[in-house]
Structure 1
Amino acid sequence: MRRPKPLRRRCWRWRSNPLRRRDYIVETWIVLAMWVVISLGGALVGVVTAQAAEASFAQLRHDRHSVRVVLVESTTRAMQTVEGETNRRVRARIRWTAPDGSVRTGRAPVDSGRRAGSRVTVWLDSNGRFTEKPPAAKAAAVEAGTLGTGAALAFGGLVFAAGRLARWRLDQRRYDRWAREWDQVGPRWGRRTT
């Protein structure tokens, strides 16, 4: 059976060492802080973003409602798109009865291939304007999760880039210090070896 290493041997980097410089300690703390902020902050940003997106989608489902309308004109014509595919949605004249009992007409996007007089469903927002169907609860949950994951990854990327920038700056300071030290020691050392 293998004995665990004593704590003193595992934490040797934290002990006092004549070759250890203050920059090494600073760099260690930067890396530690960077990963803590990435893991905790990224999780927090992801959860908050996903909840905000879910609330936004729920508000859309609450504000929008479907209305059964009658097509006034036929939608058998299909419009060609740039890629050569046919567009399945076209704007057509429709008629419906408003909640107050008045008959209204307008143009709304409906599926192509319908004849005049057929009944279709369109979506209205809270102001009575035509709009798209709100995302279903399942699709909204998937999209909210995707947005949360993307926000967490973006936050993690920014923190990682900031940590790398700080470490790069420490490296530049170290290189400058080493160059100054070499300028002092190099000429004396070179005489001894020649």
Structure 2
Amino acid sequence: MRAITGLWRWRHNPLCRTTDLTEAWVAAAGLLLMLSVAPLAGALVGGVAQDALQRSVREQHASRHRVAATVIRVLERSQLTIDPEGTSAGDLRGRVLAHWTAPDGSRHEAPVLVGIEDPRAGDRFAIWTDARGRTLARPLDSATATTHAVLAGVGAAVSAAALVETARRIVVWRMVRHRHARLEREWGRVGPDWGRTGADS
């Protein structure tokens, strides 16, 4: 930002070197790219992610069914067995043997996780299954999908801005190295005669 301000202040300044103006123009171009490319990248990536995730939400809700299961007996209780798409990792989940009827009418009996605090035989709870009654994770909801899409868009925008800033820094670094090399060559030419009487004649 300082270089952009200097670009306007030094445009007719006789002390302003060409390299100063060039660095300021590079900074201005970098800022304009960050303000245009980063939001565009974020919007594109976020839009693509939103479309894909919402399509996944629709497919999951179409293929997964919420059915009622009944506890036969408690098997075990563990803090390590967590429903990844359900409750938080701090919740205790009970593991029980349960039976349920699938959407196709078939009956099933298997160990499942239950969110009941103190499950007992005969307790009823909801599980998600496919059409044949095989247990599945809870389907992704629309709000969570939108949150993931927004995070993807923000990540893409930040990455694009970082890429532009990295490119700008590399260009300025190369310009500074070139300027220093030129100064060293000039000093190598006039340095040995510096301070001698008549050396400039």
Which TM bucket (shorter chain)?
0.7 to 0.9
Equivalent of residue 20 in structure 1, options 17, 32, 41: 17
Normalized against structure 1, the TM-score is what?
Answer: 0.72
Q: Per-residue CA shift, 1:21-49, capped at 9, x if unaligned?
A: 3x444433322222222111110121122
Asked whether the 8 Å contact 1:90–1:110 carries over to 2, the reply is yes
Residues 1:53 and 2:58 are matched in the alignment: no
CA distance in 1, matches of 2:179, 2:132: 64
Counterparts of 1:1-194 in structure 2, within 5 Å, are: 11=8, 13-15=10-12, 20-21=17-18, 23-64=19-60, 65-75=64-74, 77-81=76-80, 87-112=91-116, 113-124=118-129, 130-192=135-197
| Structure 1: tracts of 5 or more residues without a match | 1-9
Cα pair distance change 1:75/1:41, threshold 3 Å: farther
> Which structure 2 residue ranges, 5 or more long, are not aligned?
1-6, 81-88
Q: Residue 195 of structure 2: SS of its match in structure 1?
A: helix
3-state SS, counterpart of residue 159 of structure 1: helix
* Percent identity of paired positions between Structure 1 and Structure 2: 28
- Distance in 2 separating the partners of 1:167 and 1:148: 29
Give the Cα separation in 1 of the matches to 2:23 and 2:57.
49
Task: Output the amino acid matched with 1:181.
Answer: E
Take 2:178 and 2:79, find their aligned partners in 1: how far apart are those partners? Answer: 62
- TM-score scaled to structure 2, two decimals? 0.70
**Counterpart-to-counterpart distance in 2, 1:56 and 1:126:** 23
- Mapped partners of 2:78, 2:29: distance in 1: 56
| Distance in 2 between residues matched to 1:60 and 1:126, nearest whole Å | 17
| Residues 48 and 115 of structure 1: CA distance in aligned 2, closer, same or farther (over 3 Å) | farther
List per-residue Cα deviations over 1:58-102 (Å, max 9, x = no partner).
223212234223134344843145xxx965234443333233222
Shift of 1:175: 0.9
Equivalenced residues, count: 180
Question: Against the structure 1 CA distance between its residues 52 and 91, is the aligned structure 2 distance closer, same or farther, given a 3 Å change threshold?
Answer: farther
Pair 122,86 (structure 1): closer, same or farther in 2 beyond 3 Å = same
How far is 1:122 from its partner?
A: 2.1
Residue identity opposite 1:179 in structure 2: E
Is the contact between residue 94 and residue 107 of structure 1 (CA under 8 Å) also seen in structure 2?
Answer: yes
Amino acid aligned to 1:176: A
Contact 2:65 2:131 in 1 (8 A): no
